[in-house]
Amino acid sequence: MRRFAALGCCLLAACASTQPGTAVAIYQPPVGRTPVLERPIAAAPGHHLVLGDLVVTPGMVIPRHRHSGEEFLYVMGGSGTLTVEGKPDVVLSAGQGVRIAPGAAHAGVAGADGMRAVSTWVVVNGQPLRTPAP
CATH number at residue 118: 2.60.120.10
Q: How many domains does the chain have?
A: 1
pLDDT (tens digit, 0 to 9) for every residue of the chain, 134 residues total? 444 344 344 434 444 445 556 677 766 776 777 778 899 999 999 999 999 999 999 999 999 999 999 999 999 999 999 999 999 999 999 999 999 999 999 999 999 999 999 999 999 999 999 999 98
CB 69 within 8 A of CB 102: yes
- Within a domain: residue 77? yes
- Within a domain: residue 63? yes
- Within a domain: residue 9? no
- Within a domain: residue 51? yes
As beta bridge partners, residue 93 has: 79
Overall pTM > 0.95 = no
Q: Residue 13: exposed, middle, or buried by beta-carbon count in 10 A (0-12, 13-18, 19+)? A: exposed
- Within a domain: residue 60? yes
Q: Which domain holds residue 119?
A: 29-132
CA distance 18 to 47: 43
- Within a domain: residue 120? yes
Pairing state between β 71-84 and 90-93: antiparallel
- Within a domain: residue 103? yes
- Within a domain: residue 124? yes
CA distance 69 to 38: 14
As beta bridge partners, residue 35 has: 52
Q: For residue 73, which of 28, 130, 27 has the smallest C-alpha distance?
A: 130
